Amino acid sequence: MINRRRAALSSQSITASDTVVFAFRPSSIAVATLLALMEVGARTVLVDLREPEDLVLSQLRRVQPTVVVTEPLLAYATRPPFAWVMRRLGITLPRLGKMAPRVVILREESQEDAAVQPPAPRADDDALVVFTSGTTSEPKAVVHTQASLGSMIETLADALGDAGDEVVFLDQYHSFVPSLLAGATVVIGALKPVSKVARNLEKHRVSTWFTTPSTALAVAQLGWAGSSLRRTFLGSAPVTPLLVLTLRSVMPDTRVVAVYAMTEAVPVAITD
């Protein structure tokens, strides 16, 4: 799949000289596309399409992207007349055409493998730009290199250990690749609504869960006991003693692990 994604990128003349806005919903195709962009050597910018358009555009002005890479559904959802329907449903997405001079829609039917392997990027090449959350007047971001991303994957893979019998539930890209490398079965889901998260955890007999403190607390408050859950990795916000005590009272057999990062998307340290 990664080879086909790389072939699709090459067919659109996307190279290491590009700064790419990555606009995808969490999925296996999105992860394959992200890995293909890193193989190409492009500098990839993660954006949160749930944020207001003005905030997203102010962030992107800091990095001057050359192209947006997206999937068909999001491309159509941000254009009239579909955008008007989405707004009537209470969903307003930033317009992709405002983000960069060019928008490329990568379609699933691109089935050809890449014939030519691009030059390997250097360890100190920029790979990923991740903006911090919040609405500060001056958007701030961390620029990760190929080397720092490799270190992140190793850190999470070490924390997971041999996960051949694990079912991992997540919604974030950073934990997808390490989970697969550890041999786990990966289930990708959304953080909301909380009742659906709890149902998915139970349905798939999840044993390892990557989530945010607020979502973990909300699921615990529903009374879900986590009968199959052995580990919960918490990131993106402070992990307070009260939260840990609440989780342990509802899920006494679950190990709680705090993940610390330079930004929400790329961890640098893990602690029990």
Write the Ramachandran bin of 64: left for phi over 0, alpha for psi from -120 to 50, otherwise beta: left
Q: What is the CATH number of the domain that holds 258?
A: 3.40.50.980
The answer, yes or no, to whether residue 235 has pLDDT greater than 90, is no
* Tens-digit pLDDT profile for residues 254-263: 888 887 765 5
User: How many alpha carbons lie under 13 Å from residue 141 in its C-beta half-sphere?
Assistant: 22
d(CA 232, CA 229): 8
Asked if residue 172 and residue 133 are part of one domain, the reply reads no
Q: Considering the entire predicted model, what is its pTM? A: 0.76
Query: Percent of the chain beyond pLDDT 70?
Result: 88
d(CA 234, CA 211): 5
Number of domains in the chain: 2
d(CA 162, CA 259): 19
Query: Which range of residues forms the domain containing residue 24?
Result: 2-139
Asked if residue 162 and residue 119 are part of one domain, the reply reads no
Categorize the per-residue pLDDT at 92 as very low, low, confident or very high, splitting at 50, 70 and 90: confident
Asked if residue 178 and residue 84 are part of one domain, the reply reads no
Instruction: Give 170's strand partners.
Output: 188
Greater pLDDT, 69 or 49? 69
d(CA 169, CA 9): 29
Locate 151 and state its tokens.
């270190």
Query: What is the SS3 assignment for 58?
Result: helix
The answer, yes or no, to whether residue 243 has pLDDT greater than 90, is no
Asked if residue 131 and residue 12 are part of one domain, the reply reads yes
The answer, yes or no, to whether residue 161 has pLDDT greater than 90, is no
Quick one: which H or E segment has residue 262? strand 255-263
Categorize the per-residue pLDDT at 18 as very low, low, confident or very high, splitting at 50, 70 and 90: very high
Taking the mean position of all CA atoms in its chain, how far away is CA 201? 19
* Tens-digit pLDDT profile for residues 194-229: 888 888 898 999 999 988 888 888 998 888 877 888
